[in-house]
Amino acid sequence: MCTLKPPFDGSSLPGLAMRIVQGKYKPISNNYSSKLKDLIKRLLITKPSRRPSINQILSFLTHFY
């Protein structure tokens, strides 16, 4: 959402699926803070159990502003 583009892209549906499964996406622009880039990186972790919980995200956002 920050970049106004989907995080994953591919030239075909199988290629797109592989990039999603592997967690490969273009780096987030340096226009954004390191804290926001870290949050995005955590949200895009492929293994759901390693992603932050909603409470962790809300806590982060509370301290972010």
The token pair at 7 is: 């995080």
pLDDT of residue 54: 95
49 burial via Cβ count (<10 Å: 0-12, 13-18, 19+): exposed
The token pair at 10 is: 């591919």
pLDDT of residue 6: 86
Task: Give the separation between CA 5 and CA 58, rounded to whole angstroms.
Answer: 23
DSSP state of 33: -
DSSP state of 65: -
pLDDT of residue 56: 93
Average pLDDT, integer, range 44-64: 90
Q: What's the predicted TM-score (pTM) here?
A: 0.75
pLDDT of residue 65: 62
Using the structure block, give the residue that is written with the tokens 């502003």: 65
* pLDDT at 44 exceeding the cut of 70: yes
